[in-house]
Amino acid sequence: MEEKKFLWGGAISAHQCEGAYNEGGKKPATADTMLGGSLREHWASFGNPIDPSLYYPTHKAIDFYHRYKEDIALFHEMGFNALRLSIAWSRIFPNGGLDNEEPNEEGLKFYDDLFDELLRNGIEPVVTINHYETPLALYEKYGGWKSREMIGLFEKYCRVIFTRYKDKVKTWINFNEINSMMFVGCLGPAIKIGRNDPDFQQVIYQAGHYMLTAGAIATKLCHEIVPGGKIGAMLGGHKIYAYSCNPEDQLLAMLENEKQYYFIDTMMQGGYPYYARRIWETYDLKLDITEEDLKLLKENPCDYLSFSYYQSMTVSSDDTKKLAPGNMSSSAANPYLKSSEWGWQMDPTGLRIFMNELYSRYRKPLLIAENGLGAKDVLVNGTVEDDYRIDYLRDHVRAFQAAMNDGVELMGYLPWGCIDLISCSTGQISKRYGFIYVNLDDEGNGTMKRYKKKSFDWYKHVIATNGREL
Ligand code: BG6
């Protein structure tokens, strides 16, 4: 029996890398309205008119749009056989496809060239259809995924990209970290709403339903159009622990897990999970869900599950517990874990446990689509001695290898931000994840020159030995 190729590579997204936000016929996406700076400025700026006198990190990002050949050559040197990246919807449909808009040929050609360059280098593109950016025109017209109209526009976009790239891209991901909308409205569904807004649950669960329906349509189209195509759901994943054996803590952990699994249960299992009704009743939600939507969900489950994993979360019924910040939200600080410079609690053993939980839940292949350590790197003599990053990654590789040994089917490992890029939560580049350092600062100054960090050679060796030597 032929052994399946394990995907070794990295992951990036369009708005965090490409830049050229208004070149090649592209129009702004929601992400292009977000300022860098303090957390508050970054999030508050979402959806506001673009002020040309201010610095917007995604507008030039790391200039991947113009430098991708150089970057792919470095990925190739590391031995990547896969790269996860996303398509910017507003490069393909600058106005989101409104008013019978035709696709933008220049945008389509950009990704054609990019995928060709990857394939020439022996790197398989793993493509996220929608990674935290929506054409601004759709935000302005509909307020994001608040409207059912978004489903048809997303379908139009998917049909175009599947048809165009069907011979180059076989592995697709629908929405990046779909569950993040439980915490932040503006990223996935492009909805400006605070978590304390009394309508938050109604708005988010409704938008979530439209996205789930659109995701089912994407699965259907992918299977119809892309020969041998596979499409995965994507979870922003955490191992969730109860702080103690107090049943109240255990119950909270159960409820937090439901929040985490609600969307992917629906996408992986072909319909809403049994506990959905209780959630809808708890919040007294009035959802627009049709029989046709439910049929689409039932007939089109995803082929595999991709997920990001940076940390675990610990929940406690005791509100006085010290909190630790996290990728999605804060949770009780776990006294057994160390934290990154941003306070995210590192937990490789949690990854092994989590993978076992996911696999026993779905019995479909998993893909680690993001993992990594955001740190403040210092460039000295043309390199970065990032032993801390190597330690983090080594521990996580060991953990997923242990999970594979437990019997979990894993398609590959694609650590996040394999080249430094713009941080999603802060809009800053000083939170770096890469094996490759990019000379750029948080105000947009720098030469954009690329430098290999110590982790570059480490990862190259890991890939060359297929993970045997860490
Ligand atoms: C994931 C996102 O949540 O975490 C990425 O899919 C993001 O887009 C990554 O960049 C790391 O988060 P941050 O905030 O450190 O960039």
Q: Read off the pLDDT of residues 10-19 as tens digits, 9 standing for 90 and up.
A: 999 999 999 9
- The mean pLDDT value for 290-299 works out to 98
249 lines ligand 1 (CB under 6 A): no
The predicted pLDDT at position 377 comes to 98
pLDDT digits (tens, 9 = 90+) for 97-156: 999 999 999 999 999 999 999 999 999 999 999 999 999 999 999 999 999 999 999 999
Evaluated on CA atoms 43, 371, 374, 64, the torsion sign reads negative
Q: Average pLDDT in the 191-204 region?
A: 96
CA of 345 relative to ligand 1 center, distance in Å: 15
Tell me what pLDDT residue 360 has: 98
| pLDDT for the residue 43 | 83
Q: What is the mean pLDDT of residues 318-342?
A: 85
Cβ-contact 313, 343 below 8 angstroms: no
What percentage of residues in the chain have a pLDDT greater than 70?
A: 99
Q: In whole angstroms, how far apart are CA 340 and each of 311, 324, 333, 337, 432?
A: 10, 10, 13, 10, 12
- Tell me which residue has its CA closest to atom 2 in ligand 1: 424
**What is the number of the ligand 1 atom nearest to the C-alpha of 372?**
11
Mean pLDDT score, 60-70: 98
- pLDDT at 2 > cutoff 60: no
C-alpha triplet 99, 175, 136: angle, nearest 5°: 35
Q: In this predicted model, which residue has the larger pLDDT, 38 or 15?
A: 15
| Beta carbon of 128 within 6 Å of any ligand 1 atom | no
Establish whether residue 428 lines the binding site of ligand 1, counting it when its CB lies within 6 angstroms of any ligand atom.
no
Kindly list the distances between the CA atom of residue 323 and the CA atoms of 134, 182, 183, 315, in Å, as whole numbers in the listed order: 32, 19, 16, 10
Question: What pLDDT was estimated at residue 3?
Answer: 63
According to CATH, the topology of domain 7-464 is TIM Barrel (3.20.20)
Mean pLDDT of 162-172: 98
In the reported structure, the alpha carbon of residue 237 is separated from the centroid of ligand 1 by a whole-number distance in angstroms of 12
In one-letter notation, the amino acid at residue 305 is L
pLDDT tier for residue 175 given thresholds of 50, 70 and 90:
very high
pLDDT tens digit sequence for 377-386: 999 999 999 9
Ligand 1 in contact with 236 (CB < 6 A)? yes
Q: What is the predicted pLDDT for the residue at 39?
A: 66
Distance 43 CA to ligand 1 centre (A): 14
Residue nearest to atom 10 of ligand 1 (CA): 424
Q: Mean pLDDT score of the chain, rounded to an integer? A: 96
pLDDT, residue 440, reads: 98
- Check if 177 is active-site: yes
Is the shortest distance between the CB of 344 and ligand 1 below 6 Å?
no
Average pLDDT rounded to a whole number, residues 171-192: 96
Q: Give the mean model confidence (pLDDT) for residues 311-321.
A: 90
Q: For the residues 10-35, what does the mean pLDDT come to?
A: 97
Confidence grade of residue 51 (pLDDT, cut at 50, 70, 90): very high
Give this prediction's pTM. Answer: 0.97
Residue 149 CA to ligand 1 centre (angstroms): 28
Catalytic residue among 41, 177, 224, 248: 177
- Position 248 pLDDT exceeds 60: yes
Average pLDDT over residues 351-358: 98
What is the residue with the minimal CA distance to atom 5 of ligand 1? 424
Q: How would residue 62 be classed by pLDDT, with cut points 50, 70 and 90?
A: very high
The residue extents of the domains of the chain are 7-464
CA of 334 to the centre of ligand 1 (A): 21
Residue nearest to atom 8 of ligand 1 (CA): 424
